[in-house]
């Protein structure tokens, strides 16, 4: 084991030489009421500095991320958001005592918007109580209590509230996704937002007034003290700047005026002083201030004095977090990766160890290692690594404890050596270079040769199993796309080089997991189309000779009888067996020795004539994820998910098997991968939820392979590798080679000092999001991975509350009971007040979410006071966040269905698709029920549809036309499609879209228009349509990686270009309070024209 510099280390050294020392990032500033002090965040902590610049002092330090600090109007407190609990809760710091009070207890992330001018309320934005990711505005006392809605237009986004000086109105940001993607530099339609006013706050239905027009990103409203001006950020002229909108009471008065004159860069998180003479904002990773009177902006020079809470080196001993697993051919060792480093351990740890054994650390590079492959003699391990700025193969010899570079690799984009695979004799390793070459390297000499040109994946979408040797080492098999339609099939090429030839000819987009039969006579592989079950295909390389069960009895007489055994022959047999056991105990033999040769291995022969006709599908009956053939070639190990539960199965592939059915071995619900056979065929090894497991094939008893990976996790090193991974993956894989006009190398140079100055992982993710935001593209982001955010634990009742009555009475009073929710089933009614939870009194300062913490699926007793003063108790079982959101969504769908029915006089039906997932497609089939099918037409609604991949299947339902009628004797005529089981509506339709119809919903809209299925009503779609992949980085962080361009039927890019509508209707924010839906009104009117 030796330490080597990683790509990130070299990159940092190069960049920091040019840019100077690591620099801290200062973010989200706000001013004290007197304008003399500014608070901001850096290193994930809260700091304070003089507003004119100078030394900053640390106010709040915690390993978790702190954000959005805001002074109270009296300057005695600072409210902020902290991820130390939940996924972002509001806290209040008392500056005199240093005491910190938690105010909110919700599972969902919350954004702190503002204090009320009198300090009585904190305004918070959250998506917790609306459908999907839509935000609403709430307020809560800084002393405690349950947050209550102030602006909560159903299934619409409202956020970043600013209360007016007199507290009688709110300026809010509405529409678009700026609240979640504020880091995007540029915009499409979905990123456009507007400033609105919400007044008549104490009325049953508040009044909404639009302040800024659409077509731009306008956000972060701030009031002047006299309420005659609203300040805000907008990119309406291309660059982000501060603007001022004159106001006449609660209405805009004239055109807005630009205050700053930036031509590039960002203006983020602006906040004004109480007298509104100064506005501070985030720009160029620092704090800037704008003097209103002087009409001048400048950077505020701030020096940090203090140590942020994060950044310490942590020694960890992990038995989980395994990212990749490789079982040695002798079945005695496992190699695995944790946080990108390679470890090895015994496959059967010492029973006397008393616990997990410390694994042997193979690499210590601070770079990413992956794609592990053992040599046939189980003595050496090859893997790919991106150290030194290039992907290449490295070889570790366990006997000598030495590591060496096996290939030279190549620096730069679209380069690199990956996907190593040992030849059966251990002399060579096949690999791919740059995604376009299949090569082989001689292990002893290092000499390389080109085997074939092809189309292979590049990092990070590669794997050690992408290429497979035939059992005799003569052939290499792999899958690759070819042809104008990109169908993926299996090819073979002679290992000494040549032209690859196809051996499969399926018209499917997805093919992989190639495996040779044990005797080399056939190939297995997985093939599928998206949304269809993945099947196991078999290609017989030679015409298949049938085997007969009857032959097994005949064979008993065809073999010669064994000779008589004497004492001498038995002794000789035992000596041979003893020698064999001794050799096997030390991995059988030295590399490339004669003992390693398998004289029984048959030469692989391929008959290409008529090979297309020799493909068959194994009737496995599962949607298969991965396969592994047993050493004797008689059983196929399968990982597959049934009802969302991934498990391991075995399926017989022996011609003489009598029980040709998949047999389930595991019953746990964790994700499973890297399934591999032990050499004796008795156990299967696999990864499950980051742990190494083995299951006995006969008994189905699973056991953990207890191995602990010990390491020092040094964030100072890891952050460089994460930065390098994210930047290089986008360099090599982003769908647009021009990066939407961004200079991607310059972006790296600019961000490197800031990344070097990051102190915590959340701060690093924030910087990386700002970096990817420079691409001005959709489907991007850097997010916590599995286990890196806190799971939901707050119970949900299925209730919505009346803010006015609740604030008046000091207890939550019910305004809405969600159908089929826990409260509805228990008999809670509108007007009920919640007086207690499990005997704990609910008061004005009690947060209901706090009382419902860790109550999901548990019995909870609510003490209720009815509208008539009657007291009663009800018992219920709270649900989780997503379940309640699902109930809210279904209630909204039913209300829209009733709305269309009423508006059309009962003539029209209605369906809505939440997204374009397989689950939503199945729900569409259910919603197109007998009632909808009996209408004269159907309104199809994809507003707020977040996309997916089933647009083509959904279009089929509406696009199929009738051509046959069937009539069974004694029954009436029926449409043939429906009678034969094919989904088809066969009715006039109209489509409704809006700004939040994105991704695959835009594919659906384009298909709808191209196929002429009916008019499109509403707003143009999001302009968010490129296909993306989620890539896990070294530490588990997830990078969204868009790599597939989508064009319309005319060949024009759809990204940044919304799909148009035939009838433009922009739905006003706040419309749901009045019980109106103007877009559905227009859709009904259009469709009625077609059926009258």
Active centre residues (catalytic): 779, 999, 1055
Under a CB-based contact definition with an 8 Å cutoff, are residues 985 and 1011 in contact?
no
Strand partners, 1040: 781, 1030
- 733 φ/ψ sector (left φ>0, alpha ψ -120 to 50, else beta): alpha
Question: And the tokens for 318?
Answer: 């992990």
Under a CB-based contact definition with an 8 Å cutoff, are residues 972 and 889 in contact?
no
Pairing of strands 417-422, 428-433: antiparallel
Under a CB-based contact definition with an 8 Å cutoff, are residues 552 and 517 in contact?
no
- CA 650 – CA 657 distance, rounded (Å): 13
Under a CB-based contact definition with an 8 Å cutoff, are residues 239 and 264 in contact?
yes
DSSP state letters, 444-458:
TT--EEEEEE-----
- CA 797 – CA 814 distance, rounded (Å): 11
- CA 19 – CA 751 distance, rounded (Å): 10
Pairing of strands 122-126, 136-141: antiparallel
Under a CB-based contact definition with an 8 Å cutoff, are residues 164 and 171 in contact?
yes
- CA 763 – CA 752 distance, rounded (Å): 14
Q: What are phi and psi of 712, to 5 degrees?
A: -95, 115
Pairing of strands 702-704, 707-713: unpaired
- CA 183 – CA 59 distance, rounded (Å): 26
3-state secondary structure 236-270: CCCCCEEEEEEEECCEECCCCEECCCCCCCCCEEE
Q: What are phi and psi of 38, to 5 degrees?
A: -125, 135
**Angle 30-35-39 from CA coordinates, rounded to 5°:** 30
Q: b/e for 103-112, b at 16 or more Cβ within 10 A?
A: bbbbbbbbbb
Helices 761-773 and 715-733: crossing angle in degrees, nearest 10, is 20
Per DSSP, the three-state class of 569 is helix
Under a CB-based contact definition with an 8 Å cutoff, are residues 440 and 449 in contact?
yes
- CA 563 – CA 822 distance, rounded (Å): 78
Per DSSP, the three-state class of 211 is coil
Strand residues in 61-168 grouped as ranges (E): 66-71, 77-82, 89-94, 100-102, 110-115, 122-126, 136-141, 144-151, 158-163
Under a CB-based contact definition with an 8 Å cutoff, are residues 1055 and 778 in contact?
yes
Give CA separation, 1046 vs 278, 533, 951, in Å.
Answer: 45, 24, 13
Under a CB-based contact definition with an 8 Å cutoff, are residues 630 and 679 in contact?
no
**Angle 720-1036-526 from CA coordinates, rounded to 5°:** 120
DSSP state letters, 478-518:
EEEEETTTTEEEEEEEETT----EES-----SEEEEEEE-T
CA atoms within 13 A on the CB side of 901: 12
In this structure, what DSSP letter does residue 852 have?
T
């Amino acid at each position: 084991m030796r330490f080597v510099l990683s790509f990130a280390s070299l990159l940092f050294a190069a960049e920091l030489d040019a840019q100077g020392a690591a620099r801290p990032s200062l973010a989200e500033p706000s001013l004290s009421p007197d304008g003399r002090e500014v608070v901001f965040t850096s290193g994930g902590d809260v700091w304070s500095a003089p507003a004119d610049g100078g030394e900053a002092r640390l106010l709040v330090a915690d390993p978790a991320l702190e954000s959005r600090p805001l002074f109270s109007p009296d300057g005695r407190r600072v409210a902020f958001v902290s991820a130390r609990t939940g996924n972002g809760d509001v806290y209040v710091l008392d500056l005199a005592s240093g005491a910190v009070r938690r105010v909110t207890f919700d599972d969902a992330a919350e954004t702190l918007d503002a204090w009320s001018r009198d300090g009585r309320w904190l305004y918070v934005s959250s998506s917790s109580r609306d459908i999907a990711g839509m935000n609403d505005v709430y307020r809560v006392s800084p002393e405690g209590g349950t947050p209550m809605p102030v602006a909560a237009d159903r299934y619409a986004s409202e956020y970043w509230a600013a209360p007016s000086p007199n507290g009688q109105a709110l300026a809010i940001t509405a529409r678009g996704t700026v609240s979640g993607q504020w880091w995007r530099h540029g915009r499409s339609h979905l990123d456009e937002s507007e400033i609105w006013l919400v007044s008549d706050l104490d009325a049953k239905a508040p009044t909404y007034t639009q302040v800024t027009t659409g077509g731009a990103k306008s956000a972060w409203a701030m009031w002047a003290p006299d309420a005659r001006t609203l300040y805000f950020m907008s990119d309406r002229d291309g660059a982000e700047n501060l603007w001022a909108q004159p106001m006449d009471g609660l209405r805009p008065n004239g055109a807005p005026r630009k205050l700053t004159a930036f031509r590039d860069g960002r203006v983020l998180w602006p906040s004004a002083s109480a007298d509104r003479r100064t506005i501070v904002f985030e720009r160029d990773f620092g704090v800037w201030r704008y003097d209103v009177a002087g009409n001048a902006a400048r950077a505020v020079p701030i020096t940090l004095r203090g140590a942020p809470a994060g950044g310490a080196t942590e020694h960890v001993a992990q038995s989980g977090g395994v990212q990749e697993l490789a079982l040695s051919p002798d079945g005695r060792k496992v190699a695995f990766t944790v946080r990108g480093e390679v470890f090895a351990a015994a496959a059967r740890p010492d029973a006397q160890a008393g616990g997990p054994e410390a694994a042997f650390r193979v690499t210590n590079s601070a770079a990413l290692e992956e794609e592990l492959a053992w040599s046939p003699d189980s003595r050496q391990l090859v893997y790919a690594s991106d150290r030194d700025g290039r992907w290449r193969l490295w070889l570790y010899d366990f006997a000598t404890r030495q590591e060496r570079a096996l290939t030279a690799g190549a620096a730069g984009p679209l380069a690199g050596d990956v996907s190593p695979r040992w030849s059966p004799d251990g002399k060579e390793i096949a690999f791919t270079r740059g995604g376009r070459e299949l090569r082989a390297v001689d292990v002893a000499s290092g000499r390389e040769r080109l085997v074939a040109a092809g189309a292979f994946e590049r990092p990070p979408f590669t794997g050690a199993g992408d290429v497979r040797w035939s059992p005799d080492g003569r052939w290499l098999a792999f899958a690759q796309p070819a042809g104008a339609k990109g169908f993926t099939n299996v090819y073979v090429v002679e290992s000494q080089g040549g032209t690859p030839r196809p051996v499969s000819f399926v018209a499917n987009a997805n093919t992989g997991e190639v495996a040779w039969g044990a005797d080399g006579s056939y190939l297995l592989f997985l093939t599928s189309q998206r949304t269809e079950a993945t099947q196991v295909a078999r290609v017989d390389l030679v015409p298949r000779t049938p085997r007969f069960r009857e032959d097994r009895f005949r064979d008993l007489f065809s073999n010669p009888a064994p000779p008589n055994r004497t004492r001498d022959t038995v002794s000789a047999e035992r000596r041979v067996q003893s020698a064999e056991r001794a050799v096997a105990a030390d991995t059988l033999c030295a590399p490339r020795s004669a003992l390693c040769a398998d004289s029984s291995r048959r030469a692989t022969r391929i008959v290409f004539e008529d090979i297309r006709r020799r493909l068959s599908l194994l009737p496995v009956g599962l949607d298969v994820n991965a396969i592994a053939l047993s050493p004797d070639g008689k059983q196929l190990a399968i990982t597959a998910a049934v009802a969302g539960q991934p498990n391991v199965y075995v399926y017989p592939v022996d011609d003489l098997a009598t029980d040709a059915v998949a047999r389930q071995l595991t019953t746990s619900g964790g994700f499973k991968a890297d399934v591999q056979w032990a050499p004796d065929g008795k156990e299967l090894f696999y990864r499950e939820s980051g742990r190494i497991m083995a299951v006995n094939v006969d008994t189905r008893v699973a056991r953990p392979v207890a191995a602990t990976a010990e390491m020092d996790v040094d964030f100072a090193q890891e952050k460089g590798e994460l930065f390098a991974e994210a930047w290089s993956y986008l360099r090599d894989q982003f769908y647009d080679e021009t990066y939407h006009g961004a200079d991607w190398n310059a972006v790296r140079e600019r961000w490197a000092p800031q990344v070097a100055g990051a102190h915590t992982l959340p701060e690093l993710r924030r910087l990386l999001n700002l970096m990817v935001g420079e691409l001005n593209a959709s489907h991007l982001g850097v997010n916590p991975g599995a286990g890196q955010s806190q799971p939901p634990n707050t119970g949900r009742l299925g209730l919505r509350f009346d803010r006015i009555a609740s604030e008046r009475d000091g207890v939550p009073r019910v305004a809405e009971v969600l159908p089929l929710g826990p409260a509805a089933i228990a008999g809670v009614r509108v007007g009920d007040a919640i007086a207690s939870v499990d005997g704990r009194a609910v008061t004005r300062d009690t947060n209901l979410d706090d009382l419902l913490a860790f109550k999901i699926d548990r019995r909870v007793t609510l003490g209720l006071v009815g509208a008539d003063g009657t007291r009663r108790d009800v018992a219920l079982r709270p649900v989780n966040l997503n379940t309640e959101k699902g109930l809210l969504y279904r209630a909204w769908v039913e209300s829209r269905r009733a709305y269309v029915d009423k508006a059309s006089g009962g003539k029209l039906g209605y369906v809505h698709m939440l997204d374009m997932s397989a689950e939503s497609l199945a729900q569409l089939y259910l919603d197109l029920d007998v009632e909808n099918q009996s209408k004269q037409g159907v309104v199809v609604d994809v507003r707020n549809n977040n996309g997916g991949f089933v647009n083509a299947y959904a279009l089929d339902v509406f696009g199929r036309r009738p051509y046959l009628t069937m009539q069974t004797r004694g029954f009436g005529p029926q449409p043939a499609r429906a009678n034969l089981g094919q989904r088809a509506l066969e009715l006039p339709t109209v489509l409704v879209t809006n700004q939040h119809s994105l991704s695959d919903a835009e594919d659906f809209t384009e298909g709808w228009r191209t196929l002429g299925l009916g008019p499109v009503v509403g707003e143009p779609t999001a302009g968010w349509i490129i296909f993306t992949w989620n890539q896990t980085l070294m530490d588990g962080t997830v990078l969204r990686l868009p790599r597939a361009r989508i064009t319309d039927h005319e060949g024009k890019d759809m990204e940044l270009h919304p799909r148009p509508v035939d009838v433009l209707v922009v739905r006003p924010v706040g419309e749901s309070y009045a019980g109106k839906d103007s877009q559905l009104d227009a859709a009904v009117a259009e469709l009625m024209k077609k059926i009258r």
